[in-house]
Structure 1
């Protein structure tokens, strides 16, 4: 079994310092992690794909597409909206949802991992 640490101190200080100066600040890293975590549920991934492929959809449409109850879909869409991956707008008595640009990028990135796993 491989250990997860070096047996000796082998720090490439010049390279490590360049990377350290370029790292995300703590708040930005936390925001990125929160957005990524929002896609950490199969239903939310399915909702994201439906919005990416279908454009603007209401909860009724999303519920039908992902084959989940409307209340559950509403809960998941709210989580995606809070994370900044989805926007909403009211159209009369309906609320329409669509992916934000960063939401589309994350959905695409998650889907790209599937291509590598299947291949």
Structure 2
């Protein structure tokens, strides 16, 4: 007997089918998973958190804040942008980065779900 499986196949079909029909389409779930994967890296999470509280920052500032090289920060920013979490704009010779509204919401939810002292 396994603790993680039912010993008897018993499906509440109407309820299960209603929930199944309410799930987002597979493409949407894949996009959401990609965004969450992008934030799963500690360096990218630090960058996102810095942008969350700092609003808009250039690569130089972000590199200083997170304690990484500009090259590494640029690499991670490209990944965050590819995941649809970060927007950028050129300001003269600077490229300024900011979290988009969806990323602010995802990061806020992640911060609120992790409670100090929770087991890792």
- TM-score tier by shorter-chain length is over 0.9
What is the DSSP-based 3-state SS (H/G/I as helix, E as strand, rest coil) of the residue aligned with 1:44? helix
| Residue matched to 1:92 | 92
Q: Which has the higher helix share?
A: 1
In the alignment, the residues of structure 2 paired with residue 29 and residue 18 of structure 1 have an alpha-carbon distance, to the nearest angstrom, of 18
Q: TM-score, normalised by structure 1?
A: 0.93
What is the DSSP-based 3-state SS (H/G/I as helix, E as strand, rest coil) of the residue aligned with 1:118? coil
Instruction: Output the aligned Cα RMSD.
Output: 1.5
Residues 44-77 of structure 1: per-residue CA shift (max 9 Å, x gap): 1111110010110001000011001110000001
| Residue matched to 1:73 | 73
Q: TM-score, normalised by structure 2?
A: 0.92
| Residue matched to 1:52 | 52
| Residue matched to 1:19 | 19
Displacement of 1:118 in angstroms is 2.1
In structure 2, runs of 5+ residues without a counterpart are none
In structure 1, runs of 5+ residues without a counterpart are none
Displacement of 1:4 in angstroms is 2.2
- Structure 1's consecutive aligned runs of 4 or more residues displaced over 3 angstroms after TM superposition are none
Displacement of 1:114 in angstroms is 2.0
The answer to whether the aligner puts 1:38 opposite 2:9 as a matched pair is no
In the alignment, the residues of structure 2 paired with residue 114 and residue 25 of structure 1 have an alpha-carbon distance, to the nearest angstrom, of 28
